[in-house]
Amino acid sequence: MRGLILVAALMLSGVAVAADTNTFQVRTANDLVQVCSLAPDDPLYPGAMGLCHGVLLGAWGYYDSTASAENRFVCAPNPTPTRAAVMSGFVTWAGSNSQYMNDMPVDTLFRYLAETYPCAK
């Protein structure tokens, strides 16, 4: 995938692991999954969701503004899913694709997006 390639507490063997403020550095896809899957009753939840949605929106905004029509590999379906639905899908996908959890977070997010929302060729 390209250098640009993109979203929650970590799902390892089905067990949620709480994030801490070190996780908010989001150095790996694993960190992003931890942030985006926090439980609503976690005290870090509001900040985590802001970061999670911010990563998704920022990465998508950059991709959308720089990828030419002929170079797109991710296309939003109609109707467009909510941010929450995309992030929930990413967290679920991550649970079945642990081999990518040490990769860059945006690369892994876009790997998920490309599999889930490919462009019709």
pLDDT value, residue 115: 97
Average pLDDT over the chain, rounded to an integer: 84
| Domain presence at residue 54 | yes
Looking up tokens 């969701």 gives 49
Structure confidence at residue 11 (pLDDT): 30
Q: Is 1 domain-assigned? A: no
Domain count, the chain: 1
List, for residues 12-60, the tens digit of each pLDDT value: 223 344 555 665 789 999 999 999 999 999 999 999 999 999 999 999 9
User: Per the domain annotation, does 95 fall within a domain?
Assistant: yes
Range of the domain at 107: 10-116
User: Per-residue pLDDT for 8 more than 60?
Assistant: no
Domain-located, residue 4: no
65 domain residue, yes or no: yes
Give start and end residues of each alpha helix (H) in 15-44: 29-36
121 falls within a domain: no
Token pair 């694709």 is at which residue? 97
Give the H or E element holding residue 11: strand 10-12
In a domain, 32, yes or no: yes
Q: Residue 110 is encoded by which pair of tokens? A: 């876009």
pLDDT at position 18: 56
Classify residue 61: in a domain, yes or no.
Answer: yes
**Mind listing the pLDDT tens digit for each residue in 100-118?**
999 999 999 999 999 999 9
- Which helix (H) or strand (E) segment holds residue 17: the answer is strand 15-17
Q: Which residues of 57-74 are buried (b: 16+ CB within 10 A; e: fewer)?
A: eebbeebeeebeeeeebb
